[in-house]
Amino acid sequence: MKARSITFAATLLAAVALGLSPGAASGQTSQSEFRHDDHRGLFPLCTGCHTGIPAGDRASFYPEPSSCASCHDGRDLQRVRWAPSQTPETNLDYSHPAHFAAAEREGEEMECASCHQEPGSGRMLGVLRADAAQCLSCHEHQADQHFQDAECTTCHVPLAESNLSLERIAALDAPPDHDDGAFLAAVHGEAAPNETARCATCHTQNRCAACHVNAGQVAAIQAIPVAPASLRLPVSAVHYSIPTTHESFAWLQSHGSAVPSSASMASDCSTCHTRNDCTSCHVDPAPRPIQGLPARQEVPAPGVGLERAAPETHTAFGFLNAHGSMAAADEGTCATCHTEESCIACHSAPQAPTYHPVNFVQQHAAAAYGQTMECQSCHSQEQFCRSCHMEQGLGSRGRLGPGYHDGQALWLFQHGAAARQQLETCASCHTQNECLQCHSQKGAFKVNPHGPNFDAEAARKRNAQICLACHLTPPLGGG
């Protein structure tokens, strides 16, 4: 009984000190906030409950809820359900131990009430959370514009080290200089290397890597902390600005000379482009500088995502009919984007019968004779042309038989000039054996096809290959 009386007396004193009536001891209540003023008679020091504050031990910032039950046992005092306050969302760089140490160095004593109590109130009266505005009562803000010329690291930790919620991050105010239309395209890339800490206040490395294909190789980006998995970040739209150099008419044709090395590809082009952008046009094997770019699946950034498109030169009027001379001048240029199959798709008559204009068969003789088109690039004159001519009754029937040339009297005596000028057209119907019936030096009539005053040496110098059209070996200087 004596022990029971002592316990009850102590509980009664505690109830009086807390401002509670003894009759409330049998009930159960829930309170969301701790009433400091009701407990001021029990705890002479703030650190009696907040033991971890001086050391910065966040786990012991608040007492365990079970410690309340030593008094609020439901018998002498009503039970309470209390839980420590949740860590507030913040990106402020504040440390209790650091502030205590700084005050000690200055020979001052830092009191909890100086930040956590309403001015002029009594002990444990008007207890409140510290407000960031209170910092300015001691720390003078040197910047003229908070979001532009302030030293962010003075007050803030990088976003990746904060505990801000998704909503708070999405609501962060953008500095005024970010509103400039040229900021994303031209300004931020030059400013970032010198203002990495400022960027990290509102951005994580993940944000940079969402656009920058080469984020892993850029020192300024690597200096920004990576967001932990627990930090939820807003999904930002990927946007690639078009550099002024890319807006010129000739950029597509000249861009290869602007990036001649793998190093320049890695430092410049890989900011926005993956290897997939290049190979959308460049066929295998791609040029070596392209091979140094990362593939789209190897990086978080999507890259510009270029699609295959014809250069401006290919859209010019008449390009289709004139492209042959361009291809003959530099086949390597065409091979950058086209394979042999690309050419066959158009130049193979069975696959693309519309390559020639309507009724071309009826008028093709003039085009073939005048060589307005390179027929042999698609057709075998000895087979394709001859087979069609024979079917139409226009083929040759021997050296002296009737045939295609019947419309011209004495054609046999005139054919030499035509053969010398357009030997390819003769081959569309005639074989070499027919020519050798008259022109062979080893039998027959031994008719010289060169005509009078023929200069063999001059002809050889002009084009030695033409001699082999009839001669089995070079007739001059070798057989």
State the pLDDT at residue 8: 29
Mean pLDDT of all residues in the chain? 78
Q: pLDDT-based confidence at 165, cuts 50/70/90?
A: very high
Query: CA angle 12-14-19, nearest 5°?
Result: 95
Cβ atoms 56, 97 nearer than 8 A: yes
pLDDT tens column, 135-154: 777 777 777 777 777 788 88
| AA letter at 372 | T
pLDDT tens column, 98-118: 888 888 888 888 888 888 888
pLDDT tens column, 454-472: 888 888 888 877 787 777 7
In angstroms, the CA 130 to CA 118 distance is 10
Which of 61, 62, 43, 18 has its CA nearest to residue 123?
43
State the pLDDT at residue 228: 94
Q: Is the pLDDT confidence value at 12 over 50?
A: no
Give me the DSSP letters along 342-369.
HHHHHH-TTT-TTSSPTTHHHHHHHHHH
Please give the structure tokens belonging to residue 249. 């008419």
pLDDT tens column, 435-451: 878 887 777 778 887 77
What does the CA dihedral 359, 360, 363, 364 come to, rounded to 10 degrees? Answer: -160
Backbone angles phi, psi at 30, to 5 degrees: -125, 130
pTM score, two decimals?
0.58
Q: Is the pLDDT confidence value at 128 over 70?
A: yes
Higher pLDDT, 362 or 214: 214
Q: Is the pLDDT confidence value at 167 over 80?
A: yes
What does the CA dihedral 89, 90, 91, 92 come to, rounded to 10 degrees? Answer: -160
Work out the average pLDDT over 18-27: 36
